[in-house]
Amino acid sequence: MSSLTMPKLGLGTYRMTGDGCQAAVESALSLGYRHIDTGQMYGNEAEVGAGLSASGLPRDAYFLTGKVCHALATPNEARASLDETLRRLRTDYLDLCLLHWPRAGLDIPDILEMLTRARQDGLARRIGVANFPLGLLRTAVEDVRAPIVCNQIEYHVLLDQTAILQYLRAHDMTLIAHVPLAQGRLAEHPGLARIAARHGATPAQVALKWLLDQDGVVAIPKAGRDVSQRENLAALDLMLDDADRSAIAALPKDQRFVNPPFAPVWD
Ligand SMILES: NC(=O)c1ccc[n+]([C@@H]2O[C@H](COP(=O)([O-])OP(=O)(O)OC[C@H]3O[C@@H](n4cnc5c(N)ncnc54)[C@H](OP(=O)(O)O)[C@@H]3O)[C@@H](O)[C@H]2O)c1
């Protein structure tokens, strides 16, 4: 299994659309972000591609993640959709291509084989999965033996993901934390606000740095506003101490906010 090198902090783009999406991508890149996360389901690949292009950065200057929509019926359809994705993103390749959800009825070995072939054909440098509970992750790694390098899952201070994180680390794979701010809720969290006050920081920065301090964990907060983008980037400079980590460890860890009807059974 190959290691994945990617900037620890990326920009999520879910719910970004239209000119605002292009502007947010351009702004993030100008501030120094070098990792952008999108997916076919977000319906914003063209705007993300426009932002990437307008930045003037060479293609190898940034890390781009895309996701194949789980609703596509067959691996052939999914493969064809990847060509469209690359066209909309104005690039020849993704740095990382994920299967977005392991929905029921999807032939996981087949779709992973398609992704493996797409990687061999140069459409993606690496492949991975998203929203795989531990059991399915084991299947993908140990039975299907797909060359996946990560699992993108919900992970933040209010949700324990220890078992999956340990498994990923043992297999030299990365945990990409989606909804790292619990969809914005953590920016207002009183417990995090108390920690933040001690450092002259913000609750969102505390939430992000707790993730970014962990080996093998990457975070992709969505931030449309310039002020949020700057704040989240500055979280990298925050120094949390043992007392902060103990206070965060004491928070409830059973709060999952992304659980659509097609989600797998979480184990
Ligand atoms: N693989 C999957 O199934 C999956 C599922 C969900 C999400 N994702 C990925 O993960 C990304 C992040 O998830 P998310 O967008 O749902 O939630 P999130 O990143 O946890 O939270 C985003 C919200 O927090 C706000 N925010 C960001 N930085 C802030 C700051 N410093 N202070 C105050 N508020 C702040 C944003 O506001 P503004 O935009 O107004 O700044 C936005 O409303 C997505 O965009 C997507 O790329 C993947």
Q: What is the pLDDT of residues 152-172, one digit of tens each?
A: 999 999 999 999 999 999 999
* Residues 10/63, Cβ–Cβ less than 8 Å: yes
CA of 109 to the centre of ligand 1 (A): 30
Instruction: Tell me, yes or no, if 42 is annotated catalytic.
Output: yes
Please tell me the distance from the alpha carbon of residue 214 to that of residue 61, in angstroms, as a whole number: 25
Q: Residue 150 is encoded by which pair of tokens?
A: 């990560």
Q: Number of helices (H) and strands (E), helices first, in the chain?
A: 10, 8
Please tell me the distance from the alpha carbon of residue 58 to that of residue 13, in angstroms, as a whole number: 20
Tell me if residue 240 falls in helix, strand or coil.
coil
DSSP state of 60: G
pLDDT along the chain (267 residues), means of 10: 80 98 98 98 98 98 96 87 97 98 91 96 98 97 97 98 98 98 98 98 98 98 98 98 98 98 92
Ramachandran angles phi, psi of 50, nearest 5°: -65, -40
Please tell me the distance from the alpha carbon of residue 82 to that of residue 75, in angstroms, as a whole number: 11
Please tell me the distance from the alpha carbon of residue 173 to that of residue 40, in angstroms, as a whole number: 23
CA of 14 to the centre of ligand 1 (A): 7
Residue with tokens 């493996």: 116
Q: What pLDDT is stored for residue 71 in this prediction?
A: 85
> Quick one: which atom of ligand 1 is closest to the CA of 98?
1
Q: Of the listed 14, 33, 42, 155, which one is catalytic?
A: 42
Q: Which one of 9, 13, 14 would you pick to mutate in the ligand 1 pocket, going by the greatest count of ligand atoms within 8 A of its CB?
A: 14
Please tell me the distance from the alpha carbon of residue 23 to that of residue 17, in angstroms, as a whole number: 10
Show the DSSP H helices in 8-147 as ranges.
18-31, 45-55, 75-89, 108-120, 134-138
Nearest CA to ligand 1 atom 41: 223
Classify residue 90 by burial, with Cβ atoms within 10 Å: 0-12, 13-18, 19+. Answer: middle
What architecture is domain 11-183+217-223?
Alpha-Beta Barrel (3.20)
pLDDT one-digit tens code per residue, 50-59: 999 999 999 9
Pocket of ligand 1 (CB under 6 A): 12-14, 37, 100, 130-131, 152, 178-184, 187, 204, 220-225, 228, 231-232, 258
Please tell me the distance from the alpha carbon of residue 145 to that of residue 113, in angstroms, as a whole number: 10
Residue with tokens 């299947």: 139
CA of 122 to the centre of ligand 1 (A): 30
- Single out the residue of 196, 212, 189, 10 nearest to residue 96, CA to CA: 10
pLDDT one-digit tens code per residue, 105-164: 889 999 999 999 999 999 999 999 999 999 999 999 999 999 999 999 999 999 999 999
